[in-house]
């Protein structure tokens, strides 16, 4: 489209981008604050570079595309993107993608779509965004995996009392994390679940009360579950993990119930269990159902467009 200019967006562009996103991302409901979290709140700025590129025509924002790269990991992401309806099929998304690619350092070898660790809107492309699916495949992206979000019904509270007594008898203590737990958490995640989940639980800790529950034996941390690290208006659960030696006696389900009870107390009627994982576990202990399916797309840099 002639007379279309592409530039980097600033936070002041949020209202225009929100209008565009709200009108085009029709399978999602979200506030300006949630979109701002996704686009303009760089998580872990020391490792990641976050940008939004916007396309403008006659003074109007007609498209945007988010770009994220992680230094040292050789990996980049195309985040949220959309073109206003009456400007489609004129190569604007293609031009945005080209700008994004050109802005990346040479070390970026692999590009994924939407599944940005620690700050994702969705963990892949909802295939009901069929035009986007066609666009990505045309541009050389390859579908390599599916994943799902589950939904949990929060209409009733989960009763943890009997399970807590049983676990206490077995020497397991459960409690909500507090801000003095920083060193304990650092050591635990360095050993067990890695920096990405350490980061997500640090975001969950910013809530009041902290959205992080712990299980300990002999004062050693053996399991955790978190919620509200991001996408808080959706009632977002996770991550959770139990160390291999502590798996089996039912610690995980109690931790899950604690988080779901928190989300219920915060006023949510349902919770999202994103990017799962062990579906049977959530089905059995919280009657969760598959709510959405996502297709994950990636491309090795240098892959030519499809014919
Ligand atoms: C997906 C989207 C961004 C594409 O934008 P666009 O500017 O129309 O894309 P382009 O013009 O650069 O398309 C490039 C190629 O992609 C393919 N493509 C794009 N839209 C297509 C469609 N509706 N059907 C089939 N192929 C399509 C075509 O091969 C096209 O080339 P061609 O027009 O020469 O045949 C746009 O349809 C959109 O905003 N959709 C809603 C938002 C969305 O789904 N976002 C993804 C979730 S974050």
Tens of pLDDT, residues 24-76: 999 999 999 999 999 998 777 688 999 999 999 999 999 999 999 998 889 99
pLDDT at residue 203 tops 90: yes
pLDDT at residue 216 tops 90: yes
What are the structural domains, with CATH classification, of the chain?
4-147+295-300 (3.40.630.30), 156-268 (3.40.630.30)
Q: How close is the Cα of 68 to the center of ligand 1, in Å?
A: 21
Choose one of 39, 64, 89, 133 to mutate for the ligand 1 pocket test, by most ligand atoms within 8 angstroms of C-beta.
89
Q: Per residue in 194-228, is it b (16+ CB within 10 Å) or e — as a string?
A: eeebebbbbbbbebeebbbbbbbbeeebbbbbbbb
pLDDT digit string, tens, across residues 221-272? 999 999 999 999 999 999 999 999 888 889 999 999 999 999 999 999 999 9
Protein residue with least CA distance to atom 33, ligand 1:
89
**Mean residue pLDDT across the chain:** 95
Residue 77: band (very low, low, confident or very high) from pLDDT cuts 50, 70, 90? very high
Per-residue model confidence (pLDDT) at position 307: 45
Distances (CA, A) of 151 to 18, 75, 135, 270, 282: 25, 30, 29, 7, 9
% of the chain exceeding 90 in pLDDT: 90
Cβ of 57 below 6 Å from ligand 1: no
CA atoms within 13 A on the CB side of 171: 7
The Cα 41–Cα 51 span in angstroms is 10
Cβ of 88 below 6 Å from ligand 1: yes
Tokens 């014919």 locate to 307
Per-residue model confidence (pLDDT) at position 248: 83
Q: How close is the Cα of 130 to the center of ligand 1, in Å?
A: 9
Per-residue model confidence (pLDDT) at position 246: 83
pLDDT at residue 306 tops 70: no
The Cα 246–Cα 164 span in angstroms is 15
The Cα 270–Cα 288 span in angstroms is 10
End-to-end alpha carbon distance in the chain: 22
Cβ of 254 below 6 Å from ligand 1: no
If one compares 301 and 298, the residue with the highest pLDDT of the two is 298
The Cα 217–Cα 214 span in angstroms is 10
Cβ of 24 below 6 Å from ligand 1: yes
Q: HEC states along 15-33?
A: HHHHHHHHHHCCCCCCCHH
């Amino acid at each position: 489209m002639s007379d279309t200019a592409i530039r980097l967006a600033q936070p002041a562009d949020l209202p225009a981008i929100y209008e565009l996103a709200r009108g085009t991302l029709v399978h999602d409901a979200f506030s300006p604050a949630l979109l701002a979290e996704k686009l303009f709140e760089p998580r872990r700025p020391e490792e990641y570079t976050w940008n939004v590129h916007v396309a403008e025509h006659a003074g109007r924002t007609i498209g945007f595309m988010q770009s994220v790269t992680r230094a040292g990991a050789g990996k980049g992401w195309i985040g949220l993107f959309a073109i206003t309806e009456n400007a489609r099929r004129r190569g604007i998304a293609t031009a945005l993608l080209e700008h994004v690619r050109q802005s990346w350092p040479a070390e970026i070898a692999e590009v994924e779509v939407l599944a940005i660790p620690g700050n994702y809107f969705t963990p892949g492309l909802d295939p009901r965004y069929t035009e986007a699916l066609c666009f990505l495949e045309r541009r050389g992206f390859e579908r390599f995996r599916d994943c799902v979000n589950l939904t949990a019904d929060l209409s009733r509270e989960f009763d943890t009392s009997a399970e807590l007594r049983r676990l206490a008898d077995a020497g397991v203590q459960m409690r909500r994390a507090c801000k003095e737990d920083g060193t304990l958490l650092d050591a635990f995640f360095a050993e067990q679940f890695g920096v990405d989940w350490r980061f997500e639980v640090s975001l969950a800790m910013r809530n009041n009360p902290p959205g992080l529950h712990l299980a300990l034996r002999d004062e050693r941390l053996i399991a955790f579950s978190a919620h509200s690290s991001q996408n808080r208006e959706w009632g977002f659960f996770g991550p959770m993990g139990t160390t291999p030696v502590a798996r089996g006696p039912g610690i995980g389900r109690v931790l899950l119930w604690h988080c779901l009870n928190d989300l219920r107390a915060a006023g949510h009627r349902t919770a999202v269990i994103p990017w799962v994982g062990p579906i049977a576990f959530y089905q059995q202990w919280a009657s969760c159902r598959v709510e959405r399916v996502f297709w994950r797309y990636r491309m090795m840099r240098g892959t030519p467009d499809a014919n």
